[in-house]
A and B are shown apart, each in its own frame.
Chain A
Amino acid sequence: MASMQKRLQKELIAIQKEPPPGVSVNPANIGPNLTQWIVDMEGASGTLYEGEHFQLSFKFSPKYPFDSPEVTFIGSNIPIHPHVYSNGHICLSILSEDWSPALSVISVCLSIISMLSSCKEKKRPPDNSLYVKTCSKNPKKTKWWYHDDNV
């Protein structure tokens, strides 16, 4: 537990010092013992999400960084994207089976920005309504199929 908080403390300092473009962390949005973060994110300019504002929730288990964080979009504006369900769950392989302890909050944010930025058409995943009705609250419990690596 202690090593997890030490690492999260370092990550928090790093993301506040040198945030990726469009990303910011309000210290008031850091939960108890650093186990829950809310990260603010702006849609990158020149993309379909330019000018939009999103919020990402990060939840860290005591096994972090060996266990991936639980990352979902929250708030009133969930991006309309083929890999983002309307309940905020994100289909992204590094958030489950391709997670590595060398990844960080910053690299997850960069991956999500890049995922949004390469989108060509704003639409929900084809199975959105079924998934949102049947899924668990925790996206890490979903057995994701990564059927499309292009977006």
Chain B
Amino acid sequence: MASGANDDSKESESSFECNICLDTAKDAVVSLCGHLFCWPCLHQWLETKPTRQVCPVCKAAISRDKVIPLYGRNSSRQDPRDKLPPRPPGQRSEPEPSSSTSFPAFGLGDGGFHMSFGIGAFPFGFFASTFNFGEGRPAPSPNSQDYAEDQFLSKLFLWVAIVFIFWLLIA
């Protein structure tokens, strides 16, 4: 680094400084390329660029497994890499209520059966029904539970329609 010192006393002082915070390395780790960091500092850098993890000093490839923890005489025996710095908590805000959900889905089971049935000006558009032909959803395979349910609902609505028309005719 460019901030190297000239005299020996400063040299020895700064030789155990973390290359990121420029302070004496705490929970020190050394990379295989020989550069010293505090583990919290290096960890934050590795998190900053998770896809391109390089040594801040020499840009050699680096990762959690390519650094060696340093244990001084009276330092804790715990691997500094197991102590992660406290991370800021995530923030989440509630989404804006969407105006597009104007009425609740007309759910009949969850078999994917959708049907709309409307009546226009009599007698035109008497059957403005939509029977979802040729839609993108895959049809339930025969013999499955869904298929039986679909068949049942088709028949049910057919009967509802017939009863409704009959009521219209006699009314």
Contacts and interface: CB of A to CB of B under 8 A. Distances in A.
A binds B: yes
Interface of A: 3, 6-7, 10-11, 14, 18, 20, 65-67, 100-104, 106-107, 110
Contact of B20 (A11, A20, A67, A101): A101
Contacts of B6: 18
A4 to B, nearest CB: 9
B57 A14 contact: no
Contact of A110 (B2, B20, B22): B2
B23 A20 contact: no
Contacts of A110: 2
B59 to A, nearest CB: 7
Interface of B: 1-3, 5-6, 19-23, 35, 41, 44-45, 48, 54, 56-57, 59
Given A3-B21, A66-B45, A102 B3 contact: no
22 contacts: A6-B23, A7-B23, A11-B22, A18-B3, A18-B6, A20-B2, A65-B21, A66-B45, A100-B56, A100-B57, A101-B19, A101-B20, A101-B41, A101-B56, A102-B19, A102-B57, A103-B56, A104-B2, A104-B3, A106-B2, A107-B1, A110-B2
B91 to A, nearest CB: 15
B102 to A, nearest CB: 40
Given A100-B56, A100-B57, A104-B3, A7 B44 contact: no
Contacts of B1: 102, 104, 107
Given A7-B22, A107-B3, 13 more contacts: A3-B21, A6-B23, A66-B44, A66-B48, A100-B57, A100-B59, A101-B20, A102-B57, A104-B2, A104-B3, A106-B2, A107-B1, A107-B2
Contacts of A18: 3, 5-6
Contacts of B59: 100
A11 to B, nearest CB: 7
A39 B20 CA distance: 22
Contacts of A3: 21
A66 B35 CA distance: 17
Contacts of B48: 66-67
A29 to B, nearest CB: 20
Most buried by A among B2, B19, B23, B44: B2
A11 B2 CA distance: 12
Nearest to B44: A66
Contact of B3 (A6, A65, A106): A106
B3 A14 contact: yes
A20 B1 CA distance: 13
Contact of A101 (B2, B3, B5, B45): B45
A106 B2 CA distance: 7
A25 B2 CA distance: 17
Nearest to A10: B22
